[in-house]
Amino acid sequence: MKPTPQQRIWMYEAMLKSRRFDDAVFQAYWEGKKPVFHMGKGPLPGEMHQSFGQEPTAVGICVHLGPDDAVGAGHRPHHVAIARGVNLERMAAELFGKKTGLSGGRGGHMHLYDNSVNFFCSGIIAEGMGPGAGMALARKMQKKPGIAVAYNGDGAVNQGAFHEVMNMAALWKLPFVCVIEDNKYAVSVTTQESTVVPAWKRAAGYDCPGEYVKGNDPDLIFEAAARAVQHARDGKGPAILELETERLHGHFIGDSAGYRSKDEVAAQKDPIPLYRKRLLDEKVLTTTAMEALEAKVQQEVDAAMKFARDSEYPAPNEALQRVFA
Amino acid sequence: MIDITVPQDLWDTEDEGVIFVWIYADGALVEQGKLIAELTVEKAQLELTAPASGRLKILAPAETIVRKGTVIGRIEPP
Amino acid sequence: MAQEAPSSGGSSRTLTMARAGREAVIAEMRKDPNIFVIGEDIAKLGGVFGTTVGMADEFGAQRVVDTPISETGFIGIATGAAMAGMRPIVEIAFVDFIGVCFNAIFNFAAKTHYMSGGQFKVPMTMMIGYGGGYNDAAQHSQCLIGTLAHVPGIRIVTPADAHDAKGLMHTCLRDDNLTIWMVHKAIWGLGWLGTAIKTAMATVPEEEYTIPFGKARIWREGTDVTLVGYGITVHHSLQAAEKLAAEGISAEVLDLRTIVPMDRDAIMKSVTKTGRVVVADEDYMNCGVTAEVLATIAERNPKALKAPAVRVANPDVPVPFSRPMENFALPDADKIVAAAIATLKS
């Protein structure tokens, strides 16, 4: 099944919003961290794992999801959060550690949660597998519609949790889609160096479908995702969807990725200009409409960043609140 | 009046068991079918229920070793 | 210590902790269809330590879920289900197994409410067995209460008798947070782990009742020395108090009941009265519950103590297998008696 023009425009807009957001965050991150790079300094402190190049994996799947569904992401969540419809202002505020953030500043960039769209993150590799499958289990137990999707990196497939949860999800036919973003690197270690059989091939070991989509192309991801999502919605159990993608920057801001060769880095393709060109060439959008869309996205991102900067920090002793319900 | 006998079908083997706890005190009123004692046989806690309603008379206290068929108490008229 | 009066209409029942805990779980499961139990060997077997006997028959496989040996996986799954509105009970038979799944407990389940700013609750109760004294050696005899209590976001509940087991379980199941209800295997009420400890069995009312977290319990009042314990060390302390009474020493036995939250006011009230304290814990001595009790006294009113405190705990060794060595390492009534006498000699 191919995406409609509306769906393609939606995907482009979400990818662009993620990219422009990450651009703005990148700029802000370096404030206060020059000339000496101290991670804890500046308005955007801490680690920052950005999604440059990985935007297609978020939109190609989230385009098929609705309010009944649940999505979990890992430590590189921005593109997934934005595709899922997480409130952008509150997301930006959370990164800045402000009181108005999604979690009032308690979680930060790796721990974005928005219960209004059933979205959560986890900062430990593969840790989101269990909770994602658990949200699928809840829907099955409650006899409510909806599936759960958990995003993981290529490195996560070698954590025990991946295997444990896939086995149980398949055993219990949970409406769960396990997404692997293969950006080819787990920090500095390539999938070739770490993984003897990739996740999508292991699906046979869980008696569930597994598909690998090459090309980092939203339209191709859309098609494969439609299959995986429908499989889960039909009550047939989980599916593994492994998506080739590109990590255009280092693992986190500050990682110069010296372990990658210059040729390899130069050969990487940025999916967003490619998709933009395709939409214009195929006349899905006119240039005028495209520019208007891009201006609108930029405004939203600017507004979110302004909201974040203008918001107050929490009172220090708010640290003591919310340990327990 | 009716004896409380360790039932023949309470466990499969011929092993001995031990009375672990009486749920009710000597002289308490008990209802037929309700749990009145727990026995331990190997790695299992087994349940003994009252064969009739009435007043419990305990003949074998907790920690007594028993076999299937051992009379461990009586249900007397209330 | 007065027990709850039995309910009218039935003779009073003496139950084991196992049965009392199950009674609470079954009562809550009958009322709330969102509660389900998940863990290894809990359906057909009814739990290695009898935590779920009879439940699969009543509630079916959908609500009493046997799992593969995948603790990280099913704790994560239960957490996600809790975040989505279910109220899971997760059984881990031996606390020693938290090693294979600690991340799922302490990094995700314990922290999700906080890190989400309260957006996602984790109304999940874990049932975990702990403790030694029956030669199960270092990897199956631990307490690890100190380890679990150390991380914020986890309530640790350690009943010492059947009455408290039921009341605290009701409270756990109605609470919207991660709570770990832990029972020492030797006081649980399983004959194959030893003769019944009579003080662990208790009169248990048929009706439902709750016991609040953070409220310690005085089992025996006294004036000369406070014996602080939880779980099995309450029973060692009760025996010790009897032996001390024969020597003219009046010991007060204080049961912490819940480690997190800990009833520090009760500790201070008792210690201020007696001026002497022994803290007994089967867990490792270093950086654990005994230290936390003494830290409380040191912070709030060190002058309350007329003599140095004495701790009775595992002397920081892996629990040995061989009987004489295991008995040496674990607390018992005689060690508590000796400790109490030591506080009176100082």
Q: Identify the domain boundary among C160, C179, C203.
A: C203
- B32 near C CB under 8 A: no
Give the number of beta-carbon pairs within 8 Å between B and C. 47
Residue C189 lies in a domain: yes
Q: CA A325 to CA C58: how far, in whole Å? A: 31
Give the number of beta-carbon pairs within 8 Å between A and C. 148
**Which of A134, A32, A150 has its CA nearest to residue A80?**
A150
Residue C45 lies in a domain: yes
Q: How far is C240 from chain B (nearest CA, A)?
A: 23
For the stretch C61-97, pLDDT in tens is: 999 999 999 999 999 999 999 999 999 999 999 999 9
**Neighbour count for residue B32 (Cβ, 10 Å):** 12
User: What rounded mean pLDDT belongs to chain A?
Assistant: 96
Same domain, C268 and C338: yes
Instruction: Give the residue numbers spanning the domain of B34.
Output: 2-76
Q: How far is A202 from chain C (nearest CA, A)?
A: 17
Residue A316 lies in a domain: no
> Subunits that touch chain C (at least 3 Cβ pairs < 8 angstroms)?
A, B
- Total tally of structural domains belonging to chain C: 2
Same domain, C292 and C193: no
Q: Is the pLDDT of residue C7 over 60?
A: no
Residue C142's pLDDT is 97
Give the model's confidence band at C5: pLDDT under 50 very low, under 70 low, under 90 confident, else very high.
very low
Nearest to A141 among C72, C74, C86 (CB): C86
Same domain, C178 and C250: no
- C11 near A CB under 8 A: no
Q: Is the pLDDT of residue C123 over 70?
A: yes
What's C87's domain CATH number?
Answer: 3.40.50.970
Q: CA A120 to CA A73: how far, in whole Å? A: 6
Residue C127 lies in a domain: yes
C interface with B, Cβ–Cβ below 8 Å: 10-16, 18-19, 50, 53, 189-192, 195-196, 201
Q: CA A83 to CA A61: how far, in whole Å? A: 9
For the stretch A284-320, pLDDT in tens is: 999 999 999 999 999 999 999 999 999 999 999 999 9
**Which of C95, C94, C215 has its CA nearest to residue C147?**
C95
What's A95's domain CATH number?
Answer: 3.40.50.970
Residue C194's pLDDT is 83
Instruction: Give the residue numbers spanning the domain of C169.
Output: 14-203
Same domain, C300 and C232: yes
Nearest to C115 among A113, A131, A165 (CB): A113
Same domain, C295 and C186: no
The one catalytic residue in C140, C163, C235, C236 is C140
In this complex, whether C and A touch, counting 3 or more CB pairs under 8 angstroms, is: yes
- C120 near A CB under 8 A: yes
Same domain, C196 and C273: no
DSSP class of residue A318 equals G
What's C302's domain CATH number?
Answer: 3.40.50.920
Which percentage of chain A shows pLDDT scores above 90? Answer: 93
- Total tally of structural domains belonging to chain A: 1
User: What rounded mean pLDDT belongs to chain C?
Assistant: 95
Contacts of A104 (CB under 8 A, 6+ apart): A314, A318, A322, C117, C118
Same domain, C307 and C173: no
Q: Which helix (H) or strand (E) holds C24?
A: helix C17-31
Residue C7 lies in a domain: no
Instruction: Give the residue numbers spanning the domain of A116.
Output: 5-311
Residue C1's pLDDT is 33
For the stretch B34-69, pLDDT in tens is: 999 999 998 889 999 999 999 999 999 999 999 999
User: String of b and e for A203-212 (b: at least 16 CB within 10 Å)?
Assistant: beebebbbbb
For the stretch C181-233, pLDDT in tens is: 999 999 999 988 888 899 999 999 999 999 999 999 999 999 999 999 999 99
For the stretch B5-23, pLDDT in tens is: 999 999 999 889 999 999 9
Residue A323 lies in a domain: no
List of chain B residues whose C-beta atoms are within 8 Å of the C-beta of residue C11: 24-25, 28-30
Q: Identify the domain boundary among C177, C203, C229.
A: C203
Residue A318 lies in a domain: no
Same domain, C145 and C248: no
> Subunits that touch chain A (at least 3 Cβ pairs < 8 angstroms)?
C
CB contact residues (below 8 A), chain B span 10-29, against chain C: 18, 20-25, 28-29
Same domain, C106 and C194: yes
8 Å CB contact of C83 and A160: no
Residue A67 lies in a domain: yes
User: CB-based burial of residue A316 (10 Å sphere; 0-12 exposed, 13-18 middle, 19+ buried)?
Assistant: exposed
8 Å CB contact of B28 and C12: yes
Q: CA A181 to CA A57: how far, in whole Å? A: 7
Residue C9's pLDDT is 56
List of chain A residues whose C-beta atoms are within 8 Å of the C-beta of residue C102: none
Q: For residue A35, is the peptide bond before it cis, meaning its omega torsion is within 30 degrees of 0?
A: yes
Residue A320 lies in a domain: no
Residue C167's pLDDT is 98
Residue C151 lies in a domain: yes
Residue C9 lies in a domain: no
**Which of B48, C257, C102 has its CA nearest to residue A127?**
C102
What's B27's domain CATH number?
Answer: 2.40.50.100
Q: Is the pLDDT of residue C6 over 50?
A: no
- C223 near A CB under 8 A: no
Residue C3's pLDDT is 37
For the stretch A227-275, pLDDT in tens is: 999 999 999 999 999 999 999 998 989 888 888 999 999 999 999 999 9
Look up C140 and say whether it is catalytic: yes
Same domain, C147 and C53: yes
Tally of CA atoms within 13 A in the half-sphere of A122 that contains its CB: 30
8 Å CB contact of B20 and C196: yes
- Give the Å distances, CA to CA, from C184 to A62, C22, C209, C231, C268: 47, 15, 22, 6, 26
Contacts of C257 (CB under 8 A, 6+ apart): C157, C158, C159, C160, C164, C168, C211, C215, C216, C217, C230, C263
Same domain, C155 and C263: no
Contacts of C267 (CB under 8 A, 6+ apart): C216, C226, C228, C254, C293, C296, C297
8 Å CB contact of C113 and A133: no
Q: How far is C48 from chain B (nearest CA, A)?
A: 9
Residue C145 lies in a domain: yes
- Total tally of structural domains belonging to chain B: 1
Residue A322 lies in a domain: no
CB contact residues (below 8 A), chain B span 36-65, against chain C: 38-40, 42-45, 62-63
